[in-house]
Structure 1
Amino acid sequence: MNNTENNSIGCIVNECRFHAKNTNYCTLDKIQVTKHESMAKDVQCTDCGSFMKQE
């Protein structure tokens, strides 16, 4: 895991292990976007599959 913010991935989920803490960015080099419907029709059908809860 990279500990510096990735300015290409904005994130406001402070509960995620990969949140940059001081800024609203992710520290990962890339994320996996997932869907939980057979066909994503709107934003509610998608999630960040890279989320991990802080310990």
Structure 2
Amino acid sequence: MRKNSSIGCSVSECKFHSKDENFCTLDKIEVVKHSQKADTVEHTDCGSFKRD
């Protein structure tokens, strides 16, 4: 898959990681939160993640 240079990613275990460089291959990602109010980075995740 072709990298999307607008979405950086260092999670090489993800199905959508570009493998050659630290980028995502998706056109867009979905950012999700874990609580009512996302006050810190720990309250959010990439909802588009799929295990490779």
Q: What's 1:19 paired with?
A: 17
| Structure 1: tracts of 5 or more residues without a match | none
Q: TM-score, normalised by structure 2?
A: 0.99
1 CA distance for matches of 2:7 and 2:40? 20
Q: What's 1:6 paired with?
A: 4
Calculate percent identity across the aligned residue pairs: 56
Runs of 4+ in 1 over 6 A off after TM superposition: none
Aligned length: 52
How big is the alpha-carbon RMSD for the aligned residues of Structure 1 and Structure 2? 0.3
Classify the secondary structure of the residue corresponding to 1:41: coil
Q: TM-score, normalised by structure 1?
A: 0.93
